[in-house]
């Protein structure tokens, strides 16, 4: 909350446990700015920056079934403004998804892939560009706390330089000086705020293939290992 200058704590009474192997449909933290409401009517006050728990995998408001979210975990920056599932959220429901880093898999021998942990080189926190939506479950009563489902997706872009050596795509980052604009729902065209992370911003190292199984979860998953065959070309 301090890192992202959050004004309103919107998470449940129990915080999320540390997760070292986040998979689609899991719950994650999201930072967003929303205009407060009073008696069902929106005030004209400024948006309030808040943190919420959302589910990874966007469920558009018009979806008939929330299972669609498992297919909408990433939104390509090249088409995010055109796709019906994303364009309305891009206009006014943008968020930041905090993370220490993320995993990508690089082909090595045959069909084998070596997982890498990619993270800020300065040890800081990533602010991945995300979108969020609210979906209303028609099968639940209006007073049911599970009536509304809040979900998110990660915007991705082409990976350049050494990151592209590991995988051709990467999450889009939002730099600190652009957080306020990116989160502000009054900014209707935020595409120009999306720029790939600088080539020296991120670092990477190989990790155990234990991360391939989502049932594995612990700090040992981000421990560095020797790359397959001793190849250090993608170690940076």
Q: Output the pLDDT for position 38.
A: 63
Yes or no: domain 8-230 corresponds to CATH 1.10.150.170: no
Q: Output the pLDDT for position 33.
A: 96
CA 76 to chain centre: 13
Q: Output the pLDDT for position 201.
A: 82
Q: Output the pLDDT for position 10.
A: 87
Q: Output the pLDDT for position 195.
A: 73
Q: Output the pLDDT for position 96.
A: 97
Q: Output the pLDDT for position 39.
A: 55
Q: Where are the domains of the chain?
A: 8-230
Its pTM stands at: 0.90
Q: Output the pLDDT for position 110.
A: 76
pLDDT tens digit string along 89-131?
Answer: 999 999 999 999 999 999 888 778 999 999 998 889 999 999 9
Query: Residue ranges of the chain with pLDDT lower than 70?
Result: 38-44, 161-162, 196-199, 228-236
Q: SS3 string of the chain?
A: CCCCCCCEECCCCCCCCCCCCCCCCCEEEEEEEECCEECCEECCCCCEEEEEEEEECCCCCCCCCHHHHHHCCEEECCCCCCCCCCHHHHHHCEEEEEECCEEEEEECCCCCEEEEEEEECCCCCEEEEEEEEEEECCCCCCCCCCCEEEEEEEEEEECCHHHHHHCCEEECECCHHHHHHHHCCCCCCCHHHCCCCCCCCEEEEECCHHHHCCCCCCHHHHCCCCCHHHCCCCCC
């Amino acid at each position: 909350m301090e890192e992202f200058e959050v004004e309103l704590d919107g998470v449940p009474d129990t915080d999320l446990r540390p997760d070292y192997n986040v998979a689609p449909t899991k719950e994650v933290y999201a930072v967003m700015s929303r205009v407060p409401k009073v008696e069902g009517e929106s005030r004209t006050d400024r948006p309030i920056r808040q943190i919420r728990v959302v589910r990874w995998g966007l469920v558009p408001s018009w979806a008939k079934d929330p299972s669609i979210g498992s297919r909408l975990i990433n939104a390509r920056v090249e088409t995010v403004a055109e796709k019906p599932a994303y364009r309305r959220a891009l206009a006014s429901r943008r968020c930041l998804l905090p993370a220490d880093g993320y995993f990508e898999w690089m082909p090595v021998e045959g069909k084998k892939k070596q997982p890498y942990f990619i993270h800020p080189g300065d040890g800081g926190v990533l602010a991945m560009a995300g979108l969020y939506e609210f979906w209303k479950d028609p099968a639940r009563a209006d007073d049911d706390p599970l009536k509304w489902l809040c979900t998110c997706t990660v915007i991705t872009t082409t990976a350049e330089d050494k990151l592209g050596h590991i995988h051709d795509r990467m999450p889009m980052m939002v730099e600190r000086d652009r957080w306020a604009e990116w989160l502000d729902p009054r900014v209707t065209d935020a595409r120009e705020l999306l720029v790939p992370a600088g080539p020296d911003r991120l670092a990477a190292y190989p990790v155990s293939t234990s991360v391939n199984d989502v049932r594995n979860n612990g700090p040992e998953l981000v421990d560095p290992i020797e790359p397959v065959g001793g190849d250090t070309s993608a170690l940076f």
